Amino acid sequence: MKLLNDFVAGLKFGEPQRFGRLTITPIISETDLSLPFLTLEEALAKDILEITEVGEEGSVPDLLVKNTGGTDVILIEGEILEGAKQNRMVNATTIVPAEGEIILPVTCVERGRWSYRSRKFASGGHVAYPKMRKASHEAVRESVRRDETRRSDQGHVWRDIGAKMDRMKIRSETEAATDMEDQVMRCVASTYKESVFDKIRHVDKQVGYLAYIGGGFAGGDIFGSPEICSKQVDKLTRGYLMDMEDRAIAFPVVSDSDLLEGLRNSEFTEHVSVGKGVEMRFHNGKIQGACSVVDGLVSHVTVFPVE
């Protein structure tokens, strides 16, 4: 895919940043990139984005998203939405078009609640931990291949959250992933002398990162502009900390160079996006992921290891 090859050709690695068992390699763009999108938080603050259940009774794998503003809004794969009848996770990066309405495929990340806490969803403040994002990504890939839907494996996600809470001795009345994130962040703050956000921070011209936990490749995200990336780094970092603190899991060893080379040489399949643009999916021996393309521009690339 020439578009992605040209995009990747303009990228280089920054100096690694380390916090505990987590290492972040920033990805820097050598070209001037920009995207005309608002993030979830920006759109909610402007009161132009409304995310609700699809009806009064609701539907676990679907949400209704309305964008009443004049700017497209980017929702990234793994982003947590909090409220309504139960918290959800975004199944695939989606560009909600200006003055548009879509049905968004999601996965429940709060098994023990099915009752209204609010009528609308808010940002959960973090992105799901990489092991769960990877498992969801693999299930969605098969769903896309099978019938062009974007369904995750709901049972697997619930079991994974429950098992992780048991291992980490975390309790939540509704088995909510947001409760786990809150407790992990408090534990990290009390354990380490320095703040994670002082050690892991956005740098000039950074459009993405590759993340390693205990030396293994946990995942990566690359955005089509430094501005969008800067607004997502803290949310993504919170997700990685949940796997950093879970010493029962491990990730495969993949080098930085192998990852970028894999992006250049992967075969892509093209699919119509739920929102605006197209979605390119790839899978080879070492990496897998997806690339959202809108108006001829790369908006977001997700990368996960193959195990």
Who contacts 64 (Cβ-Cβ below 8 Å, separation ≥6)?
51, 52, 53, 54, 101, 102, 103, 104
CA distance 154 to 203: 36
Q: What SS3 state is found at 105?
A: strand
Length of the chain: 307
Q: Is 28 exposed, middle or buried (0-12, 13-18, 19+ CB in 10 A)?
A: middle
CA distance 302 to 290: 5
pLDDT of residue 265: 80
pLDDT tens-place string over residues 265-289: 888 999 999 999 999 999 887 899 9
Predicted TM-score (pTM) of the model is 0.96
Mean pLDDT by 10 residues, the chain (307 residues): 81 96 95 91 98 96 98 98 98 98 98 97 96 97 95 97 96 96 96 95 96 96 96 96 96 87 85 95 90 94 94
CA distance 31 to 132: 33
83 and 122 Cβ atoms separated by less than 8 Å: yes
pLDDT tens-place string over residues 23-46: 999 999 988 888 999 999 999 999
CB atoms under 10 Å from CB of 298, counted, come to 24
pLDDT of residue 264: 81
pLDDT of residue 1: 65
23 and 16 Cβ atoms separated by less than 8 Å: yes
134 and 304 Cβ atoms separated by less than 8 Å: yes
pLDDT of residue 89: 98
Q: Name which of 109, 157, 111, 163 is nearest 134 in CA terms.
A: 157
pLDDT of residue 257: 82
CB atoms under 10 Å from CB of 145, counted, come to 12
